[in-house]
Structure 1
Amino acid sequence: MRSHQLEEETLDLSRGELLAGLYLNSREWVHRRVDSITLEQDGTTRRNISFDVEIPAGMKVSGSKNRCIVPLGLIEKGALQRVSTSDPAGHPMPVLTKSQNSLLAVELLLSVIPVSWYDDATGDNQIRAVLSQITSAPGPGGTEEEDEVVRSHAKQSLQEWFNSRPNREDPIISADYETTCQMILSFLDHFLLAVQIKDEFVGTRCVLKFVYERDLEIGRSRRFVADIVIHLPDAGFAQSQHVEFTTPLGLKVPVMAVLTDGEIIMDLSESDRRTAHVAFQAKGRTSQGSVLVEMNPISPGILHFTAFALTAVTLLTFLGLLEKLDLINLVGKTFRIPSQAVSLVLIGPALFLSWMSRAPEHEAIAVLLRPLRTTLLLCTCTLFLFATAAAVPLERFVWEIVWVLACIGTLSALTTFGIYIWEPVKNRVIMYWKGLASR
């Protein structure tokens, strides 16, 4: 991926007008946008964005030699890893540097602000400084409180400039201010994705691709279910928006939902599919959206293994309790505790703990499988207590304590597994009824 210098790196308002025309009227030339998110086996998150476009010849924005600039919407600010681009011929597309990108964003936003808001050169220079500060901001990176302070400061700077306008009392200008301010502030957390393509592709329908790696937000509001949250700051950028999500082997996607314009569009499936897909059309150009993905382990995998292990430990605890209370007789009278043979039981927990410490994986998968691994760990602890009680000569009161702890471990494992199984089912029912209600 290369970065080409622009022919002119000074502020060019005429170029900003063309960029604003392409950006605000993107639905006229961006026919389809497809966001494909893949959780790789090595722990990375790959995002592939493709744009089906037909750039109007009359709105060509000149870039470097024999190339034109194409704005492709907004991308969240922050470090992007392993970035790659591809033009219709399969060749890499040059992208802009951070300073060039900020310059184009300022030009675009200056063209969005109505001319009637300006009155003198002082006010013009003031808003340019404010826009430059917003577009060049590093984006979210601190705590929520720190990010909110930055946002409040930017909004205050905009408000101070607007209050200095002599025509601010005009009802039409006041009504436009909120909409314009919201668009400007969106560049505080996002940068303008702009690439350069060859002039020969202008006026022809083609596909542009942008690929990068970026960590996803993992919902932690619920204790036993991990949700993947994907933000769509430009859900209305294309005529048709598509979102695809693919999980690693061993996981499935029962539910994927898109929330935009107050509506929920869902893709539900009971199969062990690894890929989910949602297509929708946003109501307006400035529409935003969020994608919520729920993942579950496939049935033949760790889910069945956990259920089997939990059943065996529960049965062992129940039968041992009945034997302890002399309700049934399962152990021969010639068997004595402690016994060296029982020490072999310790091999099972040891092998399991070594399995638990295997190589790191994707954070989303670790969060998703944490309840199942917690259940298995509780089962291991229970077996370890049984083995200890059988292999070590304990005092009577210690023996009773071990039994109580073993029963608590079994009940905790049952509770953890039960909540894990129930939570996705409950959430799916809630989302289904919300989807019906929004129709």
Structure 2
Amino acid sequence: MTQTGASAGASDASRLFDLLTGQPEWIHRRVDRTDLESDGETTRRISFDLTVSDDLAIRRSGGVVTPLTLMTKVPLRRLDTVGPDGRPLPVFGRQDNGELVAAMLIEAFERLLVGGVTAVVREAIGAAVMANDPDRMDLAVARVRAAVEAAPTSDPDQVAAVLALTSDLVSSFLFAVLLPLDYVDRRVVIKVAVTEEVTGRFSDWALSQEGRSMDLVLSLADAAASAHFEFRAPVGLRVASVTLLDEHDEPLPVPGPHIDGGSTAHLTGLHELAPANGSGVRARVQLEPVADGIVRQTCFATVFVAVLLLVGAARAEVVRAALEANRGGAVAAAALAVPALFLSVQARTPEHAWVARALFLPRLLNITTALLLYAVAIVLVTVPADARALTAILWGSFVAQALIAAVATRLLRVVSAAPPTVQHTT
């Protein structure tokens, strides 16, 4: 997108346009870390190394409006902004923000539309920028697009670029802070931390790869000259893969090097995708359990139960004699109920679907083993201790549990086989 080249006499709208479309010139480096919480929230910690030049300074209330990133329009929790002096920075207000963004878009279209911006375009832009209802944002953008495309233009490509910027600024909130005037023309670091609620786009089947993945929108439309993205998994899980997707769900190549990690994935060079893809790029993060957590416990527990049932089947006569002496097998039933209770606790459902999907298979194996043990315990209590029937029950239970243990062992081997990777298409 062609920049306006704001001068000392440029309007605030022109300065904002240059800040948004020429960020690699003034944001030197950006580090964006996303911590995926087990309760379905994400905590983003972003640091910006930047310089706001005097000719781009938008002065308001004793400070300079500094647009940092795009954020969701849902209410934000635990928002914290820290300036270069370690003190909190005020956030530019929603009303003032919307008015400045609307003025910027109107001025941009004013230069591109033959005859200037009509009242219809002006009204559509104002309503779209202030829209908060997600269901109406697409409709608001469509109205702006229809109004703009109905007017003749001197440069269709530039109009399309400004419309793309409009879509970004309607669907997301332009997050800006007021930087003290003392820091104009000085290189500074600003840090932002915010907690958001993110819902994954899960498939219906939890055992599929998509069923253990979630999509996170990357704010590449406001990328910097150098950008670094990190994704941290919840406790007990790890990042199995990260795949970049465009707005049409097509995979994108990772332009820069990546760093593999168990609990954290690192991506660099993503700012190179910004001009062509804007903020439509998503990172599909696939999670899986760590081997040292519930997977290892499940493996050991299911194998132990299989050995227990094998011993019982091999010594069926001893078991039958013990049942007859105990008059109903209450002791044997209790002995089986203890590990069954432990496995039932292991199979409890966590708070959020992210963790539930990633731990679905080990929890399923635990609950299956627990149900098998409960069933055997009930049989020992209620069924007469016929030697042939008891032997068949114990051997059948062992075979079923051996299959469960084999799946659990295979799961442990798969999870432990290789370190996770960051997938990319070349």
Q: Report the CA distance shift for 1:336/1:405 in structure 2 as closer, same or farther (over 3 A).
A: closer
Provide the C-alpha distance between the structure 1 equivalents of 2:353 and 2:57, rounded to a whole number of angstroms. Answer: 43
Structure 1 CA distance, aligned partners of 2:22 and 2:288?
40
Match of 1:309 among 298, 301, 304: 301
Matching residue of 2:206: 223
Q: Would you say 1:263 and 2:239 are equivalent positions?
A: no
Assess, with a 3 A threshold, how the Cα gap between structure 1 residues 33 and 79 changes in structure 2: closer, same or farther: same
Return the offset for 1:351.
4.2
Give how far 1:24 is off. 0.8
Query: What residue number does 1:17 align with?
Result: 14
The yes-or-no answer on 1:297 pairing with 2:297 is no
Moved more, 273-282 or 347-356: 347-356
- Structure 1 segments, 4+ long, off by >6 Å, are 398-405, 421-429
What residue in structure 2 maps to residue 203 of structure 1? 185
Question: Is residue 295–residue 362 contact of structure 2 (8 Å, CA) maintained in 1?
Answer: yes
CA–CA distance in structure 2, aligned partners of residues 313 and 354 of structure 1: 16
Alpha-carbon separation, structure 2, partners of 1:418 and 1:134:
55
Which deviates more from structure 2 when the two are superposed, residues 212-221 or residues 30-39? 212-221
Relative to 1, partners in 2 of residues 1:31 and 1:395: Cα closer, same or farther, differing over 3 Å? Answer: same
Separation (CA, whole Å) in 1 of partners of 2:149 and 2:237? 54
State whether residues 297 and 303 of structure 1, in contact with CA within 8 Å, keep that contact through their aligned partners in structure 2: yes
CA deviation map 1:36-74 (0-9, x unaligned): 11235776431111111011122111111x211111131
Matches within 5 A, 1:233-252: 233-234=219-220, 237-252=223-238
Q: Secondary structure, in 3 states, of the residue corresponding to 1:343? A: helix
Q: How many residues align?
A: 399
Query: What TM-score do you get using the length of structure 2 for normalisation?
Result: 0.80
Query: Which of 43, 49, 57 is matched with 1:52 structurally?
Result: 49
Is 1:334–2:321 an aligned residue pair? yes
Instruction: State the distance in 2 between where 1:258 and 1:207 align.
Output: 28
Out of 83, 87, 90, the position equivalent to 1:87 is: 83
Deviation at 1:105, TM superposition (A): 1.4
Q: Which position in structure 2 is the counterpart of 1:113?
A: 109
Distance in 2 of aligned mates of 1:179 and 1:410: 61
Contact 2:69/2:222 (<8 A) preserved: no
Deviations 1:241-268 (A, max 9, x none): 1112223443333434545793136746
1:106-131 deviations in whole A, cap 9, x for unaligned?
A: 122123325241526xx532222111
Post-superposition offset of 1:30: 0.3
The Cα shift of 1:97 comes to: 2.3
Q: Is the 8 A contact 1:44 1:362 kept in 2?
A: no
2:125 corresponds to 1:131? yes
Deviation at 1:296, TM superposition (A): 3.0
Q: Which residue of 2 aligns with 1:104?
A: 100
> Structure 2 vs 1, CA of residues 188 and 402 (structure 1 numbering), >3 Å: closer, same or farther?
farther
Q: Residues 176-231 of structure 1, C-alpha deviation per residue, up to 9 Å, x if partnerless?
A: 33322222122221011111010111111111111110123324235225224321
Q: Is the 8 A contact 2:128 2:137 kept in 1?
A: no
Q: 1:155 to 1:275 in 2, by over 3 A?
A: closer
2:338 is aligned with what amino acid? I
Which among 166, 177, 182 is matched to residue 159 of structure 2?
A: 177
| Matched residue, 2:267 | 278
- Describe the SS at the equivalent of 1:331: helix
For the structure 1 residues 383 and 275, does the alpha-carbon distance in structure 2 shift closer, same or farther, using more than 3 Å as the test? Answer: same
User: Residues 407 and 78 (structure 1 numbering): CA distance in 2 closer, same or farther, change over 3 Å?
Assistant: farther
* Post-superposition CA distance 1:329-350 (Å, at most 9, x none): 5432634464222122223323
Work out whether residues 257 and 267 of structure 1, in 8 Å CA contact, stay in contact via their aligned partners in 2. Answer: no
Q: Which 10-residue stretch deviates more, 181-190 or 201-210?
A: 181-190
Residues 331 and 304 of structure 1: is their aligned pair in 2 closer, same or farther, counting only changes over 3 Å? farther
Give the gaps of 5 or more residues in structure 1. Answer: 1-12, 141-146
Q: C-alpha displacement at 1:382, in angstroms?
A: 0.7
Identity of aligned residues (%): 21
Residues 366-423 of structure 1, C-alpha deviations (whole Å, 9 max, x = no match): 3322221121111100111111111223699x99998899589748846975896698
